[in-house]
Every structure is written in C-alpha cells, then in structure tokens.
Amino acid sequence: MDNKQLAGVVRRLKVAMRDLPDPSVTLVGKKFKSPFLVLISCLLSLRTRDETTLPASERLFARADTPEGMLKLTLAELRELIYPVGFYKTKAVRIHEICRDLIGRFGGEVPDDLEELLTLKGVGRKTANLVLVEGFAKPGICVDTHVHRISNRLGYVRTKTPHETEFALRKKLPDQYWNEYNALLVTWGQNVCSPISPKCSICPVNTICHRVDVTTSR
C-alpha cells in the first residue's frame, strides 16, 4: 500500500467513525487540555479497556488534577479511585513516583520532549508519544497493538513489533497524518478491525486493505 492509498483509507475511516467515541486518552486531552492529566490517563489505560479507563480517570481528576494534589492522596485513596483498572495497585504507586519526579526535576510540569518523557519511570514510547500528541498537540506517532496490527493488515508496513512499526511509520507516514493516525486506528480496531475475525464485510476500506494474515472474517 502506498501513501495515495493510505490517504483514501484515512478519508473513509474519518467518515465511518463520525458516530464512534474517541479513545479514552483522546477524550481526556480534549476535555481537560492538560498534559499532566493526559499522562496519568495514559498510565491508567495500559492493559485496561476504555470503558474502564475513562470513568477511573474522571473519578481521580475530580479529587486531584496536579502532581501536588495527587501526592496529597494516600495510596489507599488512589487505589480506591482508580479501581478496577488493570494493575491498579502498581499504578497507584507509579502515579506517586511520577508526581514526585515531575516536581523534583521538572518544576511540576510535564516535559514536552520525547526523550525527557522517557526518563519518567514507567513511561514507554507509546505513552510518551501519546502525551506529545494529545497533551501538547506536538508531532508524534503512538503505536499500540491496534496501530501495529492494522498498519500491517493494510499492507502499509511489514513489521514484527510495535517498536518496529513506530520507526517504519516515522519513515513512511506523511507528516499530516501523524497526530490523527493513532486515534483513527485505535477506534477502528476497537469497533471493526478486531484481532480475530475482523468485520471485513462492513469495513469501508475492504477494497483497499490487503488483509495480510486475515484468515477468518465476518
């Protein structure tokens, strides 16, 4: 698949997803317009479904929306507020660690630099890129399991890991699509282009998609 075909994919997906909800972290970015809250919601979203992540984020942010405020909450309070996100006990500890680090090294502000974000404990490339995109509206390519799977399924890249996919997209994906690519493919992956038996019969890009490694579909 070349970039001209990808442009057609993006156009069709935008139309098809007009009535579908944005991913939870995208919604947090739009609602709160805070890089810090985007970062925290990213952490909560790891290995957690959106329908759990968003309510947990909103419960927590109603109590604390700054690093200083988060540190005033006990770990028990944090755990109760974010439950039932995956690994909520570990994430409560990690939130405190990151808040202390932000205050100690960055004056309580979230850095807007990829390499500096990666120095925060528990922040990987996916989270760092998503904070840049949704928190700062800066260029970034966030690759999660949906972006990795669908980019390969379309035939746009040929990679084995999300890490490889990010760097392949950095070389190939036109700049104009960087900041919207993640939200588009995550939403599509959650609703139509599922890992097993994707809904190809209702997919508006089924005539463009190469359907790489798709053996069963609906």
Instruction: In whole angstroms, give the CA distance from residue 180 to residue 141.
Output: 9
Nearest by Cα to 125 from 150, 161, 97: 161
Structure tokens at 207: 């005539």
Radius of gyration of the chain (CA): 18
126 tagged catalytic: yes
22, 50, 91, 126: the catalytic one is: 126
Beta-carbon contacts of residue 79 (< 8 Å; ≥ 6 apart): 88, 89, 92
Show the 3-state SS of 136-197.
Answer: HCCCCCCCCHHHHHHHHHCCCCCCCCHHHHHHHHHHHCCHHHHHHHHHHHHHHHHHCCCCCC
> What amino acid occupies position 86?
G
Residue 48 CA to residue 57 CA, distance in Å, equals: 12
Q: Is 213 marked active-site?
A: no
Report DSSP letters for 23-57, one per residue.
PHHHHHHHHH--HHHHHHHHHHHTTS-HHHHHHHH
Among candidate residues 144, 160, 171, 175, the one labeled active-site is 144
Question: Active-site residues: which are they?
Answer: 126, 144
